[in-house]
Amino acid sequence: MFQDNLSDTLKKLKITAVDRTEDSLEGCLDCLLQALAQNNMETSEKIQGSGILQLFASLLIPQSSCSAKIANIIAEVAKNEFMRIPCVDAGLISPLVQLLNSKDQEVLLQTGRALGNICYDSHEGRSAVDQAGGAQIVIDHLRSLCSITDPANEKLLTVFCGMLMNYSNENDSLQAQLINMGVIPTLVKLLGIHCQNAALTEMCLVAFGNLAELESSKEQFASTNIAEELVKLFKKQIEHDKREMIFEVLAPLAENDAIKLQLVEAGLVECLLEIVQQKVDSDKEDDIAELKTASDLMVLLLLGDESMQKLFEGGKGNVFQRVLSWIPSNNHQLQLAGALAIANFARNDGNCIHMVDNGIVEKLTDLLDRHVEDGNVTVQHAALSALRNLAIPVVNKAKMLSAGVTEAVLKFLKSEMPPVQFKLLGTLRMLIDAQAEAAEQLGKNVKLVERLVEWCEAKDHAGVMGESNRLLSALIRHSKSKDVIKTIVQSGGIKHLVTMATSEHVIMQNEALVALALIAALELGTAEKDIESAKLVQILHKLLADERSAPEIKYNSMVLICALMGSESLHKEVQDLAFLDVVSKLRSHENKSVAQQASLTEQRLTVES
């Protein structure tokens, strides 16, 4: 029955379309809509085969009373992926876009649906709507209808938002086009006015989520009251899925520092802390996910300097205190977020000093102790990051050393995880800066020095390799101790310091040269053979001859040459290479210190040749 009827209807439709008799045309269209409601896919295939789509293009005229029904049929057939390109090829886009200028609400609703469905996941559909200028008309409608809250209008607004979503989804250039047309302030206004309407609110959120991925959108968002609206909406939500949707918008927006501050001022942090408190003891999957999202977002808000300082409130703030209480909790996610939050609070000296004076170090070392044996790598990494940052201010170093930080950190020497190794090295390097006693103690620790030498060869992990070299050098520079130098020589560290002198980073080159000069001054006999086999003299010649070498590199290379001449075999190497030529040229160097050192070195070379 269905098949025969449909074929008859399609034939009849072709005849009626030519006569343009609206009554019988309407009857045919009703039959088609019924058939589509019964079996959309099969009916759509029939419609495609019958050539009716091309007819629709000519029937879609603003003054026709059938336009809404035809647009409705197109919307229904375009639910099928295979129908979207045929709709474009039949020339339907341009007349549909024309219909967007209608005053009739039903026509607008069905046209919005039709265009939205044709654009869904269809490059061809989007291109055609783009060329016909459909987006601007829809945005203008959203603007002018924005303040009307009756249900029919809200339904239309929802369809229009959905159409823009399908039009621009995952397409950067079309999203950028909508942003340039000013869609963001309009959508934010919609959200504020229609926050009681679930469907429309949801549409706005999905749209924000898509647009917020684009860097260029962040400034536009920052100039609206999106933060306030989202926080207001968030406070009203009880369902997990709804909150999840808002989170998906908040996360990309909160990457922008101005919006971070707006979110803090709108009271988001209080909402997040409440979620953490509610969910912390739950083992339901949704609650665990929400706890993670809330605590991650909290850490993200602390990445902005202003938002972080506002929440620190001189270390007296409720937020800071609550975050502190996460560190001793039994929940790994909270321990992690707590440690990361402290690392973020520890971004200026004032905060670091306050936190160390108020016992943060013990909390972090206790946390590390709980994660020594097959612990959680992310928690280890976060706690070490926090300690490293806290160790930057000079006044904190001695306090942290006497609080046992080095002992706590050294327990992770056996870690095989490069991120943990990297932070461990950085923390130790910060701690011993200008702390001679601590540097000597660590530098005589054979286990540590041997591990450093091993990590100096970690070719796959440039960060670990660089930090190991820098710590080796720091142990010598800050301890100036013969015992430390002997330990490093015996563990095979010399060749790494010599290699470090050729680093592409001037700061590392310099640290290596200063350490080698101390070795040459204090323990040349012990290190002589290793210095020779590492070809240090040849490297120094290269550094002095290279015009690109920084002034401090030239200066320290000459100091080192003078120190090396205390060894007979190295002295001979210096004589064999034409050092005098290179050094005498440097006497006229624009840098005074370099020129002076060149004169001294030249005298030394001449006297001893």
pLDDT digits (tens, 9 = 90+) for 368-381: 999 998 788 999 99
Give me the half-sphere count of Cα atoms (radius 13 Å) on the Cβ side of residue 446: 4
CA–CA distance from 193 to each of 12, 188, 221, 526 (Å)?
47, 9, 17, 79
- Cα(536)–Cα(522) distance, integer angstroms: 17
Sign of the alpha-carbon torsion through 36, 39, 44, 47: negative
Torsions phi, psi for 196 (to 5 deg): -80, -20
Percent of the chain with pLDDT over 70: 98
Render the burial of 355-375: b for 16+ CB within 10 Å, e for the rest. bbeeebbebbbebbeebeeeb
pLDDT digits (tens, 9 = 90+) for 189-212: 999 999 889 899 999 999 998 898
> Residue type at 245?
M
Check residue 215 and give its pLDDT: 85
pLDDT digits (tens, 9 = 90+) for 389-410: 999 999 999 999 999 999 999 9
Q: What is the mean pLDDT of the chain?
A: 91
Check residue 1 and give its pLDDT: 41
Average pLDDT over residues 232-257: 89
Check residue 12 and give its pLDDT: 72
Average pLDDT over residues 81-85: 95
Single out the residue of 326, 321, 330 nearest to residue 295, CA to CA.
326
pLDDT at 3 over 60: no
Domain at 134-259, CATH from 1.20.1730.10, 2.60.40.10, 3.40.190.10, 1.25.10.10: 1.25.10.10
> Residue type at 600?
L
Per mean pLDDT, which range of 18-22, 86-90, 294-298 is the poorest?
18-22
Average pLDDT over residues 161-173: 92
Which residues, 6+ apart, have CB-to-CB distance to 511 below 8 Å?
470, 473, 474, 477, 500
- Span 1-132 CATH architecture: Alpha Horseshoe (1.25)
pLDDT digits (tens, 9 = 90+) for 411-425: 999 999 999 999 999
pLDDT digits (tens, 9 = 90+) for 260-293: 999 999 999 999 999 999 998 888 998 999 999 9
Residue pair 326/287 in contact by the 8 Å Cβ criterion: no
Percent of the chain with pLDDT over 90: 73
pLDDT digits (tens, 9 = 90+) for 563-596: 998 888 898 888 888 888 899 889 989 999 999 9
pLDDT digits (tens, 9 = 90+) for 270-279: 999 999 999 9
CA–CA distance from 283 to each of 127, 241, 295, 379, 455 (Å)?
48, 17, 16, 20, 40
pLDDT digits (tens, 9 = 90+) for 486-514: 999 999 999 999 999 999 999 999 999 99
pLDDT at 91 over 70: yes
Residue pair 500/514 in contact by the 8 Å Cβ criterion: no
- Cα(3)–Cα(450) distance, integer angstroms: 84
Single out the residue of 121, 94, 93, 97 nearest to residue 107, CA to CA.
97
Check residue 531 and give its pLDDT: 93
Single out the residue of 319, 396, 288 nearest to residue 351, CA to CA.
396
Check residue 238 and give its pLDDT: 79
pLDDT at 545 over 60: yes
Average pLDDT over residues 46-69: 88
- Could you give the residue ranges of the DSSP H alpha helices within 391-535? 394-402, 405-410, 418-432, 436-443, 446-455, 462-479, 482-490, 494-500, 506-533
- Cα(420)–Cα(425) distance, integer angstroms: 9
Retrieve residue 305's tokens. Answer: 């300097």
Which residues, 6+ apart, have CB-to-CB distance to 59 below 8 Å?
17, 25, 66, 67, 70
Which residues, 6+ apart, have CB-to-CB distance to 62 below 8 Å?
98, 99, 101, 102
- Cα(491)–Cα(479) distance, integer angstroms: 17
